[in-house]
């Protein structure tokens, strides 16, 4: 395989051998109000600080400087909402006006540098404006995905203690309008921390009544607001906190800085995605996820590109041709989405008949991430689109991709099942359980040698110790990704499975531990386990096993319905928790650990070895039987 002498190899070697030179050069792409003293400050390792001593404003770099450099009339955001039949283009000059006034609104309420602001909003341009207005003031935003229930929002209110919440009056799903304000009021009632103010962007589909003390109306506040200038912050100051699933019900607050984030994301737009300023880039995700933070909001704007804010679904809004229409109509050159979206389109329109209606001549590349991409989906996408389809691997924690085919540097041959190679800045290795490096082809823990490149998590919010324990303790000197996989002889990375109890449902990351905490709260449940089972559309879906307390006579169907309702109420519809089986006992090791992995293999009809430490092998046939009853196949123990 040809690997030498290309721009990728040069960049990669420099990024590993001389980090300061590599990232110092990339930092020239950003405008600083004060240049950094050191590119990489290792003095507080394992807490690494990029561009220490430097000062900048992320919003200035994403908005104002493009206006100053002649891009004022260029589209910054294209809002396309088939779900509301709305389209709207916002230029960089308009974005600057809106964001500076919104920053004025926040400042008038006393929001200042370092304060936290929670944003609970759907896929509308105002969500990006809210994020950018916080960045403009040096306030730290924390966006909460609209599909989470009030309880999850309350957890985040308590952990991040925001001064203010910015929300829309509603979100819109294909089958319903979801009023956000009552959920927000409920979350604030549940939380111990109370924000001073709640700023509501009213949407005509469901206006909120602003009847609580501190409730403010976006439109009337904006009408009287003074534009606020950009506030320089330290490169190492936090830009945002994004909560993500951990192994318990307490989510992890991933902290991102300003300087390293701006440098890495700006660099990635050309190097990884091969985008030029002025081109149209579309990440079909949600602002509540990391993909939305990095590639709907910050990276395209830092690069002076145009970003698409799409409010709809790949199918049903109105049909399986929606993605092709958006690409054709707005001259999108690159689409980034999750494989599940393509599985949904393929299921609805296997012959891609809708595609024939649209002219996709500008379209150059499809990027997929968020879950392991099945080769059949990549095959299909390549065949119908006739452009490179690039799988790339990343996490909320990393903020941008660990492994990818860096199209702007060098396009390597695609190997289905692999997100290609470690991106410049990432030293990916595979270790066995004793921390020894494994040879190519051998599966082990996927880890990244410290320090991680800029733009990655700096710590967990107010939880330095948890950060060290969760990511750095098991393999000293490395960041543990929580994924298992291998490298091949050509240095291609293969990501096979999570090593913890995190599952991936329709590209959404969820904790089975958090769901177990909810089921355990059911008064009839003595013990429970939740696993992720394979699903043709969503990749995985959760499945619960519950054992009932002695003497409980509640019918299993009632228990199952209760469990589904409880998870929906406490975590949210996004958990997609629908199935529960009532079983007499759970399989365990002799030390009492539930054998979730074995149960998952049985449910997915995969071969498995009888665990050597199993306490009572007789329980496995019971599990298989229960699964067969709900149509999941069991494989004979052997
Ligand atoms: N607000 C409120 N509810 C939401 C929501 C939001 N922002 N997003 C999803 N939900 C709800 C859905 O309405 C659904 O509710 P239901 O149980 O009443 O039907 C539930 O959460 C599960 O949602 P989801 O798993 O997304 O299933 P879906 O059937 O609505 O859509 C796909 C399936 C595959 C079309 C959709 O998940 C998709 O487009 N995913 C790919 C893109 C993506 O977002 N990737 C993220 C990382 S890149
Ligand atoms: P999230 O933090 O929601 O982005 O989820 C991150 C997790 O999703 C990773 O740890 C992987 O388990 C999985 N993931 C993301 N991208 C890929 C990919 N390209 N291939 C395989 N798994 C992926």
Please write the tens of the pLDDT for every residue from 164-214.
999 999 999 999 999 999 999 999 999 999 999 999 999 999 999 999 999
- Choosing from 372, 398, 511 the residue with most ligand 2 atoms within 8 A of its CB, the one to mutate for a pocket test is 372
Nearest atom (ligand 1) to Cα of 291: 48
Nearest atom (ligand 1) to Cα of 505: 25
Nearest residue (CA) to ligand 2, atom 7: 395
Closest CA to 240 of 269, 260, 220, 223: 260
Q: How far is CA 619 from CA 115, 196, 334, 625, in A?
A: 53, 54, 50, 10
Nearest atom (ligand 2) to Cα of 508: 3
Q: How far is the CA of 170 from the centre of ligand 1 (A)?
A: 16
pLDDT of the residue at 635: 43
Domain with CATH 3.30.300.30 in the chain: 506-629
| Sign, Cα dihedral of 277, 283, 286, 290 | negative
Instruction: Give per-residue pLDDT as tens, 543-571.
Output: 999 999 999 999 999 999 999 999 999 99
Q: Which ligand is in closest contact with the Cα of 504?
A: 2
Q: How far is CA 505 from CA 212, 371, 502, 572, 577, in A?
A: 36, 8, 10, 13, 10
Nearest atom (ligand 2) to Cα of 368: 19
| Sign, Cα dihedral of 580, 581, 583, 589 | negative
Closest CA to 455 of 405, 401, 419, 410: 401
User: In this structure, which CATH number among 3.30.300.30, 3.90.79.10, 3.40.50.300, 2.40.50.100 belongs to the domain 506-629?
Assistant: 3.30.300.30
Domain with CATH 3.40.50.12780 in the chain: 2-312+392-485
Nearest residue (CA) to ligand 1, atom 16: 573
Nearest residue (CA) to ligand 1, atom 6: 147
pLDDT of the residue at 140: 99
pLDDT of the residue at 1: 46
Please list the alpha-helical segments (H only) found in 374-422.
375-385
Quote the DSSP letter at residue 578: -
Nearest atom (ligand 1) to Cα of 337: 48
Closest CA to 136 of 98, 84, 99: 99
Residue ranges in the chain modelled with pLDDT below 70: 1-5, 633-638
Q: Which ligand is in closest contact with the Cα of 295?
A: 1
- Choosing from 287, 293, 395, 402 the residue with most ligand 2 atoms within 8 A of its CB, the one to mutate for a pocket test is 395
Q: How far is the CA of 181 from the centre of ligand 1 (A)?
A: 20
Nearest atom (ligand 1) to Cα of 538: 34
Q: How far is the CA of 574 from the centre of ligand 1 (A)?
A: 6
Cβ-based neighbour number of residue 267 at 10 Å: 29
- Choosing from 83, 147, 316, 401 the residue with most ligand 1 atoms within 8 A of its CB, the one to mutate for a pocket test is 147
Per CATH, domain 2-312+392-485 is 3.40.50.12780: yes
Ligand 2 site residues, Cβ closer than 6 angstroms: 244, 290, 369-373, 391-396, 419, 481-483, 495, 498, 504, 509
Ligand 1 site residues, Cβ closer than 6 angstroms: 122, 146-147, 171, 173, 178, 284-286, 289, 291, 313-314, 337-338, 340-341, 344, 370, 505-508, 538, 573-574, 576
Instruction: Give per-residue pLDDT as tens, 610-619.
Output: 888 999 999 9
Distance CA 604, CA 625 (A): 13
Q: What is the DSSP string of 267-317?
A: HHHHHTT---TTSEEEE-S-TTSHHIIIIIIIHHHHTT-EEEEE-S-SSSS
- Choosing from 576, 577, 578 the residue with most ligand 1 atoms within 8 A of its CB, the one to mutate for a pocket test is 576
Q: How far is the CA of 312 from the centre of ligand 1 (A)?
A: 10
Nearest atom (ligand 2) to Cα of 481: 10
pLDDT of the residue at 634: 52
Q: How far is the CA of 295 from the centre of ligand 2 (A)?
A: 15
Pairing assessment for the beta strands 579-582 and 539-548 based on DSSP bridges: parallel
Helix (H, G, I), strand (E, B) or coil at 65: helix
Cβ–Cβ under 8 Å, residues 144 and 156: yes
């Amino acid at each position: 395989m040809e690997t030498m002498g290309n721009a990728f190899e040069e960049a990669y070697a420099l990024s590993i051998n001389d980090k300061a030179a590599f990232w110092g050069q990339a930092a020239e792409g950003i405008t600083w109000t004060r240049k950094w003293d050191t590119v990489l400050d290792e003095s507080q390792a394992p807490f690494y600080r990029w561009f220490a001593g430097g000062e900048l404003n992320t919003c200035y770099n994403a908005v104002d400087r493009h206006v100053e450099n002649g891009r004022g009339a260029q589209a910054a955001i294209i809002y396309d909402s088939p779900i509301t039949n709305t389209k709207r283009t916002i230029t960089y000059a308009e974005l600057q006006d809106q964001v500076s006034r919104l920053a004025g609104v926040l400042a008038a309420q006393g929001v200042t540098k370092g304060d936290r602001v929670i944003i609970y909003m759907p896929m509308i341009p105002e969500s990006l404006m809210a994020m950018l207005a916080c960045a403009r003031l040096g306030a730290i935003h924390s966006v909460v995905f609209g599909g989470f229930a009030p309880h999850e929002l309350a957890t985040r209110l308590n952990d991040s203690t925001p001064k203010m919440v910015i929300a829309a009056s509603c979100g819109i799903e294909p089958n319903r309008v979801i009023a956000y304000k009552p959920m927000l009021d409920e979350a604030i009632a549940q939380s111990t921390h109370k924000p001073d103010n709640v700023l509501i962007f009213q949407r005509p589909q469901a206006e909120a009544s602003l009847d609580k003390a501190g409730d403010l109306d976006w439109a009337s506040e904006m009408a009287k607001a003074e534009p606020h200038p950009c506030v320089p912050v330290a490169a190492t100051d936090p830009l945002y906190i994004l909560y993500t699933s951990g192994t318990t019900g307490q989510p992890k607050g991933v902290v991102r800085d300003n300087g390293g984030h701006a440098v890495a994301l700006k660099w990635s737009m050309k190097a990884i995605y091969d985008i030029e300023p002025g081109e149209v880039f579309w990440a079909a995700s949600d602002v509540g996820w990391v993909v939305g933070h990095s590639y709907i909001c910050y990276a395209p704007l830092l690069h002076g590109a145009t970003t698409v804010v799409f409010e709809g679904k790949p199918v049903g809004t109105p049909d399986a041709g929606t993605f092709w229409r958006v690409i054709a109509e707005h001259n999108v050159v690159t689409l980034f989405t999750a494989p599940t979206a393509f599985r949904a389109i393929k299921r609805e329109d296997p012959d891609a008949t809708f595609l024939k209606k649209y002219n996709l001549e500008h379209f150059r590349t499809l990027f997929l991430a968020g879950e392991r991409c099945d080769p059949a989906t990549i095959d299909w996408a390549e065949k119908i689109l006739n452009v490179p389809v690039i799988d790339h691997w990343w996490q909320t924690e990393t903020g941008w991709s660990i492994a990818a085919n860096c199209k702007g540097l060098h396009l390597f041959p695609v190997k289905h099942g692999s997100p290609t190679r470690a991106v410049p800045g990432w030293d990916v290795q595979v270790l066995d359980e004793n921390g020894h490096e494994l040879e190519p082809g051998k599966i082990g823990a996927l880890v990244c040698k410290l320090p991680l490149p800029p733009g990655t998590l700096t710590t967990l919010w107010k939880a330095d110790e948890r950060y060290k324990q969760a990511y750095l303790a098991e393999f000293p000197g490395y960041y543990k990704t929580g994924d298992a996989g291998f490298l091949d002889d050509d240095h291609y990375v293969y990501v096979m499975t999570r090593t913890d109890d995190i599952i991936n449902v329709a590209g959404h990351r969820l904790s089975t531990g958090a769901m177990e905490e909810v089921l355990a709260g059911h008064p009839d449940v003595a013990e429970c386990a939740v696993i992720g089972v394979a699903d043709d559309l969503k990749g995985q879906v959760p499945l619960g096993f519950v054992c009932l307390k002695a003497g409980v006579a509640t019918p299993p169907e009632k228990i199952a319905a209760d469990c589904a309702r409880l998870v929906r109420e406490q975590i949210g519809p996004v958990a997609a928790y629908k199935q529960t089986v009532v079983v007499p006992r759970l399989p365990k090791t002799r030390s009492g650990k539930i054998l979730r992995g074995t149960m998952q293999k049985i449910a997915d009809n995969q071969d498995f070895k009888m665990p050597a430490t199993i306490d009572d092998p007789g329980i496995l046939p019971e599990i298989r039987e229960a699964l067969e009853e709900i149509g999941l196949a069991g494989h004979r123990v052997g």
